């Protein structure tokens, strides 16, 4: 194993990247640092994390105005996924905290580098901060009249997107949550292999574009998108519902009767969050712990050489 690891290290050095076997350790140290921050600092960084993911969805929404009439609709979804990646790039480069990537902190918990109290406190603080940051941004966007852009087309996209998200079955939402955070945590995980800013941007953009364009479900993104849809639905008023794009699409408030606060939590946020936990903690963090760190942990316990 040591010979194989040396070979991988040599290849990684030539490629100017962190060796695959070393990425879990880098990722773990970053997660430990986040979990041991002061609670006020952690809360502030989770506020910006939720808001920045919301900014990504704002960009996505703008790219989708009128997309339903485009012949190559799949291509417009890919464009939407690419522009959405700006949100996670901002989070990564500013040190923001997202609940979805925080799920990977299960590994330092398993390895007893975090206490149970530190682990739970981090998860709860970040989750609450993400919600407040995302909903706060949605409120600002509404007050700024962004939903009226394109003669109401921007608001129409948010309504249709939000309704689609609360219309999944519980199992669908759960599975889509697994797939989304598999992609998101792989984006963060692989970005830790890069040594330059360009490396990190490239590692993040691909997986994020994949999950967004395909319609996977990300709890933090939904903390912005579904409340944004609820705000437009309930407070858009005659100016929005009478706008040209809304009229052309034949949209009415009755068509969005299933878009409710209860549906947001029970039909989407709960199953998607649970799916995100499985996708990030099991399919990425524990998976690569088992592949790379567990042999060393086992050797350390037995006194053998890994």
- Evaluate whether residue 306 is within a structural domain: no
Which spans in the chain are helix H?
Answer: 2-14, 23-35, 39-63, 73-94, 99-102, 106-110, 116-143, 153-166, 170-191, 197-214, 219-235, 237-241, 244-249, 261-263, 270-277, 287-288, 294-302
Residues in the chain: 306
Q: Give per-10-residue mean pLDDT for the chain (306 aa).
A: 52 65 94 96 98 98 86 89 97 96 97 96 98 98 98 97 98 98 97 88 96 97 98 97 96 97 98 98 97 81 61
Domain containing residue 214? 22-295
- Evaluate whether residue 9 is within a structural domain: no
Are 206 and 231 spatial neighbours (Cβ–Cβ below 8 Å)?
no
Report the domain count for the chain.
1
pLDDT at 16: 67
pLDDT at 67: 81
Query: What's the CA gap between 274 and 289, in Å, rounded?
Result: 21
Which spans in 15-98 are helix H?
Answer: 23-35, 39-63, 73-94
- Evaluate whether residue 105 is within a structural domain: yes
- Evaluate whether residue 11 is within a structural domain: no
Kindly report the pTM of this predicted structure: 0.91
Q: Read off the CATH number of the domain in which 234 is found.
A: 1.20.1080.10
- Evaluate whether residue 14 is within a structural domain: no
Are 205 and 85 spatial neighbours (Cβ–Cβ below 8 Å)?
yes
266 to 259, 260, 262, 296: CA distances (angstroms): 12, 10, 6, 41
- Evaluate whether residue 240 is within a structural domain: yes
- Evaluate whether residue 304 is within a structural domain: no
Structural tokens at position 112:
């007893």
Q: Which residues of 14-41 are buried (b: 16+ CB within 10 A; e: fewer)?
A: eeebbbbbbbbeebbebbbebbebeeee
Structural tokens at position 205:
């953009």
Point out which residues pair with 94 in neighbouring strands.
none
Q: How far is CA 4 from the centre of its chain?
A: 34
- Evaluate whether residue 248 is within a structural domain: yes
pLDDT at 306: 47
Name the packing angle between helices 270-277 and 170-191 (round to 10°). 40
């Amino acid at each position: 194993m040591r010979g194989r690891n040396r070979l991988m290290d040599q290849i990684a050095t030539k490629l100017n990247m962190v060796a695959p076997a070393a990425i879990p350790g880098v990722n773990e140290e970053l997660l430990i640092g986040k979990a041991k921050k002061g609670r006020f600092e952690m809360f502030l960084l989770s506020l910006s994390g939720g808001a920045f993911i919301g900014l990504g969805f704002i960009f996505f929404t703008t790219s989708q105005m009128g997309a339903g009439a485009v012949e190559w609709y799949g291509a417009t979804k890919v464009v939407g996924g690419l522009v959405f990646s700006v949100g996670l790039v901002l989070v990564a480069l500013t040190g923001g905290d997202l609940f979805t990537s925080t799920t990977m902190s299960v590994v330092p918990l398993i390895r007893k580098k975090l206490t149970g109290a530190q682990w739970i406190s981090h998860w709860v603080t970040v989750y609450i901060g993400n919600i407040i940051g995302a909903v706060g941004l949605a409120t600002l966007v509404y007050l700024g009249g962004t939903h009226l852009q394109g003669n109401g087309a921007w608001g129409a996209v948010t309504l249709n997107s939000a309704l689609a998200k609360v219309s999944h079955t519980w199992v669908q939402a759960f599975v889509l949550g697994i797939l989304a955070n598999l992609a998101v945590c792989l984006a963060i995980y692989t970005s830790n292999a890069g040594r330059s800013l360009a490396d990190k941007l490239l590692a993040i953009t691909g997986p994020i574009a994949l999950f967004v364009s395909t319609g996977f479900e990300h709890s933090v993104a939904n903390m912005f998108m579904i409340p944004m849809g609820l705000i437009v639905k309930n407070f858009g008023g005659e100016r929005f519902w009478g706008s040209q794009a809304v009229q052309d699409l034949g949209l009415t408030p009755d068509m969005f009767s299933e878009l409710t606060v209860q549906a947001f939590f029970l039909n989407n946020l709960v199953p998607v969050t649970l799916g995100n936990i499985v996708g990030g903690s099991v399919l990425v963090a524990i998976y690569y712990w088992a592949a790379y760190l567990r042999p060393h942990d086992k050797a350390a316990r037995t006194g053998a050489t890994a």
